[in-house]
Amino acid sequence: MLSSLTDPAGRRISYLRVSVTDRCDMRCTYCMAERMTFLPRSDVLDYDELLRLCRVFVQHGVRRLRITGGEPLVRRDIGPFFQELGSWLKHSDNRGQLEELTLTTNGSHLAQYAQTLFDAGVRRVNVSLDTLDEARFTKITRRGKLAATLEGIRAARDVGLALRINTVAMAGVNDDEFDTLLAWCGEIGADLCLIETMPMGDTGEDRTSRYLPLLDVKADLSKRWTLTPIPDATGGPARYLRVGETGRRLGLITPMSHNFCATCNRVRLSCTGRLYTCLGQEDGADLRSLIRAGVDDAVLERAIQDAIARKPKGHDFLLGASEADVSGPQRHMSVTGG
């Protein structure tokens, strides 16, 4: 095997999140502006370019791939892309190097693709869902349909995909629903992961007043639920607790109140071919220009290794007293990949 990717802090990079599009059929208030200007098609990597870059990363020790967006399932002909990546998975009858292929989705097209994903080798998906209230869902997503997401969740369960529901915790928006979501996830056999809001791009909304430290949320939930810390890990930043009453897991992702930088094992590839070594930093590498200049894989490998050699020890997210005091990357999460 080629040399593995290790950053200056000695963290081995084994997890790549790949955005296949910046487009989405929703406009969630914490993620996008209501009126988004999306990238020209020519700026977005085609599938062959994406596969080539993914292959280089896998050859250098990446063992988990997560496909993200935007909303990845709105990209045309996404099925064959998953099928090709799935052929890289380790099986008893092949010599694949990839250990896991996963997806983050808003669920709106999951009913259409659930069987395709399972057949490709995907075994678990993360579904973004911030509320079970239809009117509130429409307000948060600006144009989403709760029924479509719930249909996608049912379809995923029916084909055998494990589910984690990702919920962005927002004060005054959905902080009265965490008990309901925990109970519902127990009923459908899904894990729940709460996520602190992050200052990524201008969404036209005031995120400072909505920020909730999840340690406070955990303390409140502990009054009604039996929450026991467990060492489970899924390759990402979530810290997990077992919910005694349901047997499911509650994950907490706390980039603001308790960052997870010390154990960061991941980098992100945007749909434009930009490698981001840290979600909260702008530094990285422009791999699209290299590919379209016709370079060989050795040049790509050096560019990736050079970027990871500059991977920072931690991010610089900051939420101040007002939106004017917010510090973070100006790019939207939909460009970077969730």
198 is an annotated ligand-binding site residue: yes
Q: Is 3 inside a domain boundary?
A: no
54 is an annotated ligand-binding site residue: no
Q: Is 98 inside a domain boundary?
A: yes
**pLDDT of 171 above 90:** yes
Structural element, H or E, at residue 292: helix 287-292
Q: Is 82 inside a domain boundary?
A: yes
Cα distances (angstroms) measured from residue 319 to each of 140, 172, 261, 323:
20, 17, 17, 8
- Residue 2's pLDDT is 58
**pLDDT of 238 above 60:** yes
pTM of the model: 0.89
Q: Is 80 inside a domain boundary?
A: yes
Compute the average pLDDT of residues 244-263.
85
74 is an annotated ligand-binding site residue: no
Compute the average pLDDT of residues 260-273.
88
125 is an annotated ligand-binding site residue: no
pLDDT band at 199; cut points 50, 70, 90? low
Q: Is 10 inside a domain boundary?
A: no
CB-CB contact of 237 with 260 (8 Å): yes
23 is an annotated ligand-binding site residue: no
pLDDT digits (tens, 9 = 90+) for 43-83: 999 999 999 999 999 999 999 999 999 999 999 999 999 99
128 is an annotated ligand-binding site residue: yes
31 is an annotated ligand-binding site residue: yes
- Residue 321's pLDDT is 47
Q: Provide the CATH number for the domain around residue 152.
A: 3.20.20.70
24 is an annotated ligand-binding site residue: yes
Q: Is 7 inside a domain boundary?
A: no
Q: Which domain holds residue 271?
A: 15-336
SS3 breakdown of the chain: % helix, strand, coil, rounded to 5? Answer: 35, 20, 50
Q: Is 214 inside a domain boundary?
A: yes
261 is an annotated ligand-binding site residue: yes
Q: What is the 3-state secondary structure (H, E, C) of 76-89?
A: CCHHHHHHHHHCCE
**pLDDT of 224 above 90:** yes
142 is an annotated ligand-binding site residue: no
Q: Is 109 inside a domain boundary?
A: yes
185 is an annotated ligand-binding site residue: no
pLDDT digits (tens, 9 = 90+) for 92-120: 677 789 999 999 999 999 999 999 999 99
Cα separation, 251 vs 152, in Å, equals 21
- Number of domains making up the chain: 1
